[in-house]
Amino acid sequence: MSVVVLGVGGGIAAYKACLLARLLSEVGHEVHVVPTRAALEFVGRPTWEALSGHPVHTEVFDDVPDVEHIRLAERADAIVVAPATADLLARLAGGHADDLLTTTVLATSAPVLLAPAMHTGMWQNAATVDNVATLRRHGLVVKAPATGRLTGRDSGPGRLPDPDEIAEFVDLLITVPECAAAMAQQDLAGKRVVISLGGTREAIDPVRYLGNSSSGRMGRAIAQVAAARGADVHVVAAHVDVAIPSDVQITRIDSTEDLAEAMDDLAKQADIVIQAVAAADFAPVAVDTKIKKHEGDDATGATMALQLHQTPDVLARICSQSVQNRIVVGFAAETAPDRDQFLKLAQAKLARKGCDLMVVNDVSGGKVFGKVGTDVTMVHQQGPGRRITGSKSQAAVAILDEVRALLATQ
C-alpha cells in the first residue's frame, strides 16, 4: 500500500479534492489529508477525516510528539496538492514552512505534484509564472490547469483538472518516480506533438457502422504525459471510451478518411507525430438509405454482402511528407503464434511504413484492447527494442523517453 499525502489549498476547488481523496483511497492508497487553514473554510475537518480515515491536522504544533511533518514527509510515496492556490505556490516557491503542509513538502524526498487552480488573471500573472518556473526548477511537478468555466461568469485557464486525471498522475509518479524529473524540467517544452487516438467508425448506411475495440486509452496516456512534459499537444480523436485530457487541443473525427484529412495538415506542422489511432484498413461502400432487413417467416438466416474499399494508409502518407527533423511514431496491433513471428511482422511493418519508431501490441486472444494495462514492444530500424509491460501511463513515459532520445540524435 502506497502512502499519499493530499495537500489542499484554500480555494473553491477544494470540494473537488474530496472526490480525489475518495479515488485515491479506492485504488488502495493510504491517504493523509493536510489542508491549509484557508482550505478548512471551504471543506471542514470532519469531511477530510471521514474520507481518509485518518486524523487531520493543519499546524505543526497539532501533533508535536509524532513530529507530524517529518513523519508524513518520510512515509509519503507521493505528495499531491490540489488545489494549489496562487498563495500556496508563492509560499512553496519561497521555501516557506509556516504550516503543516508547506513544512511537509519542504521536508520530503518523495515526488510532489502541484495541481494549480485559480482565476486566469492570477495564473497568468508574472509573479505566478515566476513561482511556477522556480518550483519546476526545484524538481516539483506543476500540472497546468484546465481551461473552462471558473467561479462566477469567467472562463479561461485556471480550472482544477478532473480528480480522476490527477489521480492517474499520482499513480504514475508512484510507479515511475523518475518521470517526475522530465515533467519538472519540461523536457518537451516548445515541441508540437500531434497524437491520433481511438478507433475509427466506417459508415455502412446512415445508422450503422463498422468499428473496432480501441478505447483510446494508450493515446490519451501519451497525450497526458506529453503535455505534462511541456509539449504543445494536439489530439485527433476518433471514437474513444475515455475523456480527453483537459490541457490539449482536440480535433474530432469519425472515419479513416476524416483522419487522413486532419493529419495531412496537422502532421506537417508537428515536431512529433504519434499515430496511436486504430484506423480501419477497409470501409464499406456506403449507401445513402438505411439497409432494410429481410421480412417474413423465411427471413431467419438470410445473409447480406458488404462491398468494402481500401482506406488511405494514413501513417505511410505522413511518413512520405517532406518534413525535416520530425519524429513519426506508428502503432500496430498484430496477432502471431509466437514472439519471433510477432517481431518479424513488426519489423516488416516498420520498414513498409517508413516511420522512426513502431510500437507494437500483441492482441492475440483479445489482449490489450480496452484494458488498463498493456504489453507493447518498441521496434526501431535497427531491430526490436524495449518491451514494456504495466500501465498505459508507464508505457507512455517509456515511449516519450524514446522519442526524446531520437530527437537528441537529429
Mean pLDDT of 29-50: 97
DSSP 49-107: HHHHSS----SGGGGGGGTHHHHHHHH-SEEEEEEE-HHHHHHHHTT--SSHHHHHHHH
Two domains, one topology: 2-185 and 192-408: yes
Mean pLDDT of 1-24: 96
8 Å CB contact between 195 and 245: no
The 10s digit of each residue's pLDDT in 293-315 is 777 666 677 788 889 999 999 99
The 10s digit of each residue's pLDDT in 263-280 is 999 999 999 999 999 999
CA atoms within 13 A of residue 176's CA, in its CB half-sphere: 21
Distance CA 284, CA 365 (A): 26
pLDDT for the residue 66: 66
* Cβ neighbours, 10 Å, residue 296: 7
| Cell numbers describing residue 182 | 522530465
Distances in Å between the Cα of 42 and the Cα atoms of 39, 84, 349, 369 are 5, 14, 55, 41
pLDDT for the residue 390: 86
| Highest averaged pLDDT of the listed ranges 309-323, 356-370, 371-385 | 309-323
pLDDT for the residue 69: 66
Does the annotation place 292 within a ligand binding site? no
Which of 358, 272, 263 has its CA nearest to residue 312? 263
8 Å CB contact between 140 and 79: no
Instruction: Give me the chain's average pLDDT, please.
Output: 91
Q: Which residue has the higher pLDDT, 31 or 391?
A: 31
Question: Does 212 participate in catalysis according to the annotation?
Answer: yes
| Highest averaged pLDDT of the listed ranges 151-160, 201-210, 384-393 | 201-210
Distance CA 309, CA 330 (A): 23
Annotated active-site residue in 131, 212, 325, 361: 212
The domain defined by 2-185 folds into Rossmann fold (3.40.50)
Mean pLDDT of 71-88: 95
Does the annotation place 331 within a ligand binding site? yes
8 Å CB contact between 284 and 229: no
> Which sequence spans correspond to the domains of the chain?
2-185, 192-408
Interacting residues of 143 by C-beta distance below 8 A, sequence separation 6+: 113, 114, 115, 116, 161, 166, 169, 228, 247
pLDDT for the residue 369: 58
Distance CA 371, CA 374 (A): 7
Residue 368 has pLDDT above 60, yes or no: no
Does the annotation place 314 within a ligand binding site? yes
Mean pLDDT of 320-324: 90
Residue 67 has pLDDT above 80, yes or no: no
Mean pLDDT of 100-107: 95
8 Å CB contact between 101 and 58: yes
Residue 99 has pLDDT above 80, yes or no: yes
Mean pLDDT of 125-148: 95
| Cell numbers describing residue 399 | 515511449
Q: What is the chain's Cα-based Rg?
A: 24
Residue 123 has pLDDT above 60, yes or no: yes
* Residue 366 pLDDT level (bands cut at 50, 70, 90): low
8 Å CB contact between 369 and 376: no
157: β partners: 147
Distance CA 231, CA 97 (A): 32
The 10s digit of each residue's pLDDT in 233-242 is 999 999 999 8
8 Å CB contact between 218 and 302: no
* Cβ neighbours, 10 Å, residue 1: 7
Residue 346 has pLDDT above 80, yes or no: yes
Distance CA 85, CA 13 (A): 9
Q: Which CATH class is domain 192-408?
A: alpha beta
pLDDT for the residue 216: 92
Does the annotation place 290 within a ligand binding site? yes
Does the annotation place 371 within a ligand binding site? no
Residue 8 has pLDDT above 90, yes or no: yes
Mean pLDDT of 280-294: 85
Does the annotation place 312 within a ligand binding site? yes
Mean pLDDT of 30-40: 97
